[in-house]
Amino acid sequence: MAKVKRFMQGNEACAEGALYAGCNFFAGYPITPSTEIAEILGYQLPKIGGKWIQMEDEIASIAATIGGSLGGCKALTATSGPGLSLKQEGLGYAAMAEIPCVIINVMRGGPSTGYPTGPSQSDMMTAKWGTHGDHPVIALTPSTVPEILTETVRAFNLAEKYRMPVFVFYDEIVGHMREPVEIPEPGDLEIVDRAKPTCKPEDYKPYDSNFEIAPLAAYGKDGYRFHVTGLNHGDDGFPTNDSKRIDQGCRSIMAKIENNLDDILKNETVDMDDAEIVLFAYGSTARSASFAQRKAREKGIKAGLFRPLTMWPFPEKAIREAAKKAKVFIVPEMNLGQMSLEVERCAPGIEVKGINRVDGEPINPAQILECIEKYK
Amino acid sequence: MTAEAAKKQKLSVPFDYSKYLRGGKLPHIWCPGCGHGIILKALLRAIDKIGLTNDEICMVSGIGCSSRTPGYVDFNTMHTLHGRALSYATGIKMANPDLNLIVTTGDGDALAIGGNHFIHTCRRNIDMTILVYSNSIYGMTGGQFSPTTPEGSKTSTSPYGAMEPNFDCCELAKASGATFVARATSYHVAELERTIKAAIEHKGTSVVEILDQCPIYFGRQNKYKSASHMMEMIEKDGTVSVKQVDKLPPEKLEGKLLRGILHQVEGEEYCDKYAKIIEKAQD
Amino acid sequence: MADRYELRFSGSGGQGMILAGIIMAEAASIYGDKNAVQSQSYGPESRGGASKAEVVISDDAIDYPKATAIDCMLAMTQEACTKYHDDIKDDGILLVDTELVHELPKGKFKIYEFPIIETAREELGKVIVANIISLGLMTALTKIVSEKAITDAVLSRVPKPFLELNEKALKIGFERAKELKEKK
């Protein structure tokens, strides 16, 4: 049987992906250009008995999302720029206390209130460095509407598997554009549920360091009573002043990522085998880059496209590999140069050329092609 | 004397707190003379009277001295961020409405940094008990003025006397829509236990402002001789029970705060309402 | 067809330009056998101000979602026409509403003028279906989607009591486009 194909908006595909992944809790606050996600889930979640709440502000929404997750739900919140700034303390808490949750950020112009209805990619470093302290980050960057659906599912899987907040970042263009999407049937995509403790309740330790990722019980379910805090804590979840355990805790939340890069990283590459000019692009900008890359190849220019679907952790190894053959990396982004800095870090000695635009207009293929031709 | 022997002699049985306390987590961090321990004990006795099991309770807190309470009790417990306890608790309650949510918070946590969450939680009338340990000071950070610090009081950030008018926590809760509002003190211990019990038993958002004392930071800077002096001056002499209001002449009420259940009405609870939304959506 | 066929629907907020774009893209990708992407730009206000929706149709995957060289553009207001006509191809088409667009832009593209809003008001009694008439006109002028596909797409989005009205609006569009073409 042919799959159901629907013409849908990026934000709609996000809600669809969340439901497919088993999301049954949403807390949010209205903000352009992500509000459609809240609206759709406000309609859909009650239909499946899921919980949905509009909180009094962005801070409360991330807090309730984390609370919902600890109550045993697969929890989601969605926001944009200024809301992402406000959510930072809660995101740090989720990273520290290792609570799974998914955060969608539909990027609009900034800083501050900026350009609410215009596209941007200027929150990329906020994902990485927004909250204080060393903390693990997974951020996914889909470019198409069907990809928003599948990457939202992947975000839930990674959040549940690695017990941490996972971001999906896309710009307003991808969030509001519409494309046909084949709706996956149950079973088509992998769904990961969080590991549940199997030990006796009295033996349960929510941060048991015998596990790489300790199973997480839910409040009020199955008789596991435990304590959660944002303070540095021991295996039992209680605050600790033991410097050895503090050090171990800080390192172990980072190690979850470093030890599982193969599982977390995901890129798409086009014509990279002999690429001398490498386009590094993500979100809607990757679509412009793809157009320009095709045109460049038609002209016989050895251009390739590297498109990260996992932006954080950064695909360091792959970029170092690409740098061996590349004579230049071109990094188009709707900001004043953010991911280009990471590319530079991983490609020492190679020129990294940014194409930057912050006027609320997309970077068009002609701009990128013009830049490619300068390096042919 | 064993409990059995005490019973025989018709003496009062000492209350066994240990079934609610987590092994190995005491002594607590509270200073000598602090009222927080009195509140914790009254709370545990109230829970016992209601007959709730440890599994049925989820205690959530923010940041501050009062917010360390969940760490000592053997319930489902969460120590969150400054001011945000009510938002975390809202998420937990929505996810699992069978849990009895108790939030322990302070005057700074609930009414300053968490003020927005406080009024909106009251407005929703979601079923939870909010215990505001109100000692008019930020204790954990070393004694700065809070939204309930009386005007003129000296604190480490009001060396010339606090100049800001203060919040009446109970009036704020009532105006925001809480369906149970009470004031108690750590001095009137039996009344405190009864009030907390009534608050937990009430369905909807219950707020209990509990006046207690910080002898170290508030007391010393404001010339109180001791913790007991503070309790007598602020909690005993500074308050009047709602039951006595009609009997006292106006001059005896001047400058006094009312104690007891100040407001209790029935109102549809948030999770019950949400359950109806689910029914409607599935129709 | 070339690898991309680009359409732009422009007017002022509230004229249904974005909906028209969505329906055209659905006609191509859901009710037809092509691929389509629809995007838009809009201001903070939901009424007034120039707004546009763009649709790219292709037999292949579509990367860049915005217009690069427009094959067919609709302008429902003077402001939109002046602001957005620049990237119409030399052999492209510009369709304007005669009631609101008085100054025609210069260019090598073909210009069709039609009283879209007036027809909706006078013949159908509902200004609100002006965008559906325009879909009929654009379908017949461009042939980028079939009349059946656009009809299916429109009717799938319309509540029952308004099916007939919208079908009529589309038909008016199809017929008048043929007359416009013959005149040229």
Taking CA atoms, what residue in B is nearest to A46?
A: B278
A205's tokens: 């330790």
Q: Which residues of C touch A365 (CB under 8 A)?
A: 64, 68
Q: Is pLDDT of B3 > 70?
A: no
- Whether residue B88 and residue A59 make contact (CB cut-off 8 A), yes or no, is no
- Closest CA–CA distance from residue A181 to any residue of chain C (Å): 10
Q: What SS3 class is residue A61? A: helix
Q: pLDDT for B250-275, tens place per residue?
A: 999 999 999 999 999 999 999 999 99
Q: Which of C119, C133, C110, C115 is nearest to C184 (CA)?
A: C110
Q: How high is the pLDDT of residue B7? A: 64
The CATH-assigned architecture of domain A268-374 is 3-Layer(aba) Sandwich (3.40)
Q: pLDDT for A120-146, tens place per residue?
A: 999 999 999 999 999 999 999 999 999
Q: Is pLDDT of C45 > 70?
A: no
Q: What SS3 class is residue B130? A: strand
Residue A254 · residue A241 · CB < 8 Å: no
Q: What's the structural domain count of chain B?
A: 1
Q: pLDDT for B178-219, tens place per residue?
A: 999 999 999 999 999 999 999 999 999 999 999 999 999 999
What percentage of chain A exceeds 90 in pLDDT?
Answer: 98
- Whether residue A284 and residue C65 make contact (CB cut-off 8 A), yes or no, is yes
CATH assignment at residue B59: 3.40.50.970
Q: pLDDT for B25-68, tens place per residue?
A: 999 999 999 999 999 999 999 999 999 999 999 999 999 999 99
Chains that touch C (3 or more CB pairs under 8 A): A
Residue B61 · residue B69 · CB < 8 Å: yes
Q: Distance between CA atoms of C85 and C87, rounded to whole angstroms?
A: 6
What percentage of chain C exceeds 70 in pLDDT?
Answer: 95
Question: Against a cut of 0.90, is the pTM above it?
Answer: yes
Going by pLDDT thresholds of 50, 70 and 90, the confidence category of residue A41 is very high
- Whether residue B120 and residue A93 make contact (CB cut-off 8 A), yes or no, is no
Query: Please, what is the average pLDDT of chain C?
Result: 94
Length of chain C: 184
Chain C residues near any Cβ of chain A (below 8 Å): 22, 25-26, 29-30, 35-44, 62-66, 68
| Residues whose CB falls within 8 Å of the CB of residue A140, separated by 6 or more in sequence, listed in order | A151, A154, A155, A166, A167, A168, A169, A266, A309, A310, A311
Which residue of C25, C36, C64 is in closest CB contact with A287? C64
CA distances from A161 to A64, A98, A234, A264, B250 (A): 21, 11, 21, 11, 65
Q: Which residues of B touch A68 (CB under 8 A)?
A: 91-92, 94-95
- Whether residue A49 and residue B282 make contact (CB cut-off 8 A), yes or no, is yes
Q: Do chains B and C touch (3 or more CB pairs under 8 A)?
A: no
Domain span at C12 = 5-183
Which residue of B25, B76, B94 is in closest CB contact with A238? B25
Q: Is pLDDT of C46 > 70?
A: no
Going by pLDDT thresholds of 50, 70 and 90, the confidence category of residue C48 is low
Q: How high is the pLDDT of residue C14? A: 87
- Whether residue B94 and residue A72 make contact (CB cut-off 8 A), yes or no, is no
Q: Is residue B1 part of a domain?
A: no
DSSP string, B27-47: SPSPPTT-SHHHHHHHHHHHH
- Closest CA–CA distance from residue B249 to any residue of chain A (Å): 43
Q: How high is the pLDDT of residue C50? A: 84
**What does the domain layout of chain A look like in residue ranges?**
5-182, 268-374
Q: What is the edge-to-edge ordering of all strands in the sheet holding A267-270?
A: A267-270, A303-308, A277-280, A328-333, A351-356
Q: How high is the pLDDT of residue A3? A: 83
Q: Which backbone phi and psi does A79 adopt, to 5 degrees?
A: -160, -175
Check for a shared fold between A5-182 and A268-374: yes
Q: pLDDT for B56-70, tens place per residue?
A: 999 999 999 999 999
Q: pLDDT for B95-128, tens place per residue?
A: 999 999 999 999 999 999 999 999 999 999 999 9
Once rounded to an integer, what is the mean pLDDT over residues C99-122?
A: 96
Q: Which residues of B touch A51 (CB under 8 A)?
A: 94-95, 274
C contact test, residue of A8, A11, A147, A178 with most C CBs within 10 A: A178
Going by pLDDT thresholds of 50, 70 and 90, the confidence category of residue C47 is low
- Closest CA–CA distance from residue C28 to any residue of chain A (Å): 10
Residue B256 DSSP class: P
CATH assignment at residue C106: 3.40.920.10
Q: Which residues of C touch A179 (CB under 8 A)?
A: 29, 36-38, 62, 65
Q: How high is the pLDDT of residue A133? A: 96
Residue C33 DSSP class: S
Q: Is residue B275 part of a domain?
A: yes
Q: Is residue B5 part of a domain?
A: no
Going by pLDDT thresholds of 50, 70 and 90, the confidence category of residue B6 is low
Q: Which backbone phi and psi does C41 adopt, to 5 degrees?
A: -135, 145
Q: Is pLDDT of B92 > 80?
A: yes
Place of tokens 């549920």: A193
Q: Is pLDDT of C51 > 90?
A: no
Q: How high is the pLDDT of residue B52? A: 98
- Whether residue C63 and residue A116 make contact (CB cut-off 8 A), yes or no, is no
CATH topology of domain A5-182: Rossmann fold (3.40.50)
Q: Distance between CA atoms of A142 and A283, rounded to whole angstroms?
A: 6
Q: What are the helix and strand counts (H, E) for chain A? A: 14, 16
Taking CA atoms, what residue in B is nearest to A225?
A: B76
Q: Is pLDDT of B11 > 80?
A: no
Q: Distance between CA atoms of C55 and C22, rounded to whole angstroms?
A: 8
Q: How high is the pLDDT of residue C44? A: 59
Q: What is the ipTM for the molecules in this complex? A: 0.96
Q: pLDDT for A3-39, tens place per residue?
A: 899 999 999 999 999 999 999 999 999 999 999 999 9
Q: Is pLDDT of B12 > 90?
A: no
Listed range (A56-70, B5-19, B71-85, C164-178) with the worst mean pLDDT: B5-19
| Residues whose CB falls within 8 Å of the CB of residue B267, separated by 6 or more in sequence, listed in order | B125, B177, B179, B204
Q: What's the structural domain count of chain C?
A: 1
Residue A184 DSSP class: P
Q: Is residue B17 part of a domain?
A: no
Going by pLDDT thresholds of 50, 70 and 90, the confidence category of residue A236 is very high
Burial class (CB in 10 A: 0-12, 13-18, 19+), B9: exposed
What percentage of chain C exceeds 90 in pLDDT?
Answer: 89
Once rounded to an integer, what is the mean pLDDT over residues A260-271?
A: 98
Q: pLDDT for A338-370, tens place per residue?
A: 999 999 999 999 999 999 999 999 999 999 999
Domain span at B206 = 31-282
